[in-house]
Amino acid sequence: MLMNVLVLNSGSSTLKFQLIATDLEQIQNNQDKRLCRGMVERIGGEVIVTVTVGDQPRRVFSEPIANLPGAVEFIVRWLSSDESGIAEVRHAGDIHAAGHRVVHGGEKFSESVVINDEVLRDIENCIDLAPLHNPNNVKCIRAVERILGSKLPQVAVFDTAFHHRIPEHAHLYALPYHLYRRHHIRRYGFHGTSHRFVSYRYRVLAKKTREDTNIITLHLGNGCSAAAIQKGYPVDTSMGMTPLEGLVMGTRSGDVDAAVVNLIATKEGLSTAEVESLLNTQSGLLGISGLTNDMRVLQQELKEHEDRRVRLAIEIFAYRAKKYIGAYLAAMGGADAVVFTGGIGENSADIRGRICEGLQWFGLKVDPAKNAESVGKEERITTADSKVHAFVIPTDEELLISRDTVRCILGEPHPS
């Protein structure tokens, strides 16, 4: 029987949601049905709700919603109302399960799980590791329980889970070891659901087995991360203890010398928490360009006129990504493909081209025409004689969350 799964992905002031109808057969045939997708933004302020039902035009409206539980309540009410017009959902009881994107699963969670009291406690125990994210996930889980009842099965899908097998030599920092023991300070990695989804799609496209999947995945969106995938699982990834480490992102610096924290704090009269916030919210593309975190706007600017800082922001972004490809090639002893995903990776031929420029030495030859025409769709963008291929594969974290939800509830293993 098809299950209507409500997928919730909560940020501090936004709540993204999708309603996906699926079951084991639909998953097998890649025919899951997306009934609705939407987003509640600026929760607590001038709330904006955006929803798209099936293929219908997007609807945008404003609603007084005070907090995250209020947003969940609104979504459930709206989905089951006549106004939404979703034939499959006539009343709240037609929502059969909820799947939550949970940011931090710590060292505990290596895969998605059905939520019970113990799981919820363990997610709460990870709050120290993700103080900005996990509390919102917990609020959403509790809100669903209150609104749809404790019998409704709920599943947690962790951003960190796919990276769980990364070996010690790649996940430990060269810090005094007791800090790892006492505070669990290590690399966890994030965007795991996205890296996992595109690895699975790569296997389908390239007709490979999991065992035979040796690739580098680049998730380039507002947040950016790279993963080295060997025999189907990550052996390294660029985000660390938090999502701050690694690639240059929209507003995050990625890698910096840790000594700059104290220097900035001293010179600018900031607390270390304020410096951390500066590295997370005022750096990256925004910080270098002084203009915006939006790659599309930066590229448009550069097309219209020369602006040194805009050019530098784009160059530093592409250079860092290329450097990680090189590092992971060395770590893995070579790879069969590089996979681009995320808003920038899926849509920007220019950035993909810049990152792949000069990688011919190890056999990756981009076909400029294929690269240019590949926007937001699954495609190989390298020449047929390329030894190492590059693919564009749009990510779909919500789809994977809905599939894991069904599989966990039915007690099926997770093949993708």
* 223 in contact with ligand ADP (CB under 6 A): yes
* 13 in contact with ligand ADP (CB under 6 A): no
Residue with smaller CB distance to ligand ADP, 80 or 292: 292
**Binder to ligand ADP among 52, 80, 81, 222 (CB under 6 A)?**
222
Closest residue to ligand ADP, based on beta-carbon distance: 343
* 250 in contact with ligand ADP (CB under 6 A): yes
**Binder to ligand ADP among 106, 192, 221, 240 (CB under 6 A)?**
221
Mode of pairing for the β-strands spanning 215-220 and 337-341: parallel
> 3-state class of 102 per DSSP?
strand
Residue with smaller CB distance to ligand ADP, 41 or 171: 41
Q: Contact at 8 Å (CB) between 28 and 59?
A: no
Q: Nearest 5°: CA angle at 273, between 268 and 276?
A: 80
End-to-end distance of the chain based on CA atoms, in angstroms?
21
Q: Contact at 8 Å (CB) between 103 and 190?
A: yes
> 3-state class of 324 per DSSP?
helix
Residue with smaller CB distance to ligand ADP, 240 or 250: 250
Please, which residues have CB within 8 angstroms of residue 285's CB and are 6 or more apart in sequence? Answer: 248, 249, 250, 251, 292, 293, 294, 295, 298, 313, 314, 317
* 347 in contact with ligand ADP (CB under 6 A): yes
Residue with smaller CB distance to ligand ADP, 110 or 292: 292
* 348 in contact with ligand ADP (CB under 6 A): yes
* 234 in contact with ligand ADP (CB under 6 A): no
Q: What is the dihedral of CA 10, 136, 191, 4, to 10 degrees?
A: -50
Residue with smaller CB distance to ligand ADP, 327 or 372: 372
Which residue in this structure is represented by tokens 């994107």? 101
CA 275 to chain centroid, in Å, comes to 24
Active site residue 307: no
Q: Give the whole-angstrom CA distance, residue 406 versus residue 399.
A: 11
Q: Which range, of 27-35, 326-334, 342-350, 358-366, touches ligand ADP by CB under 6 A?
A: 342-350
* 88 in contact with ligand ADP (CB under 6 A): no
Nearest distance from C-beta of residue 74 to ligand ADP, angstroms: 22
Q: Which range, of 25-33, 235-243, 276-284, 337-345, touches ligand ADP by CB under 6 A?
A: 337-345
Residues that bind ligand ADP (CB under 6 A): 221-223, 250, 294-296, 299, 342-344, 347-348
What residues act catalytically?
159
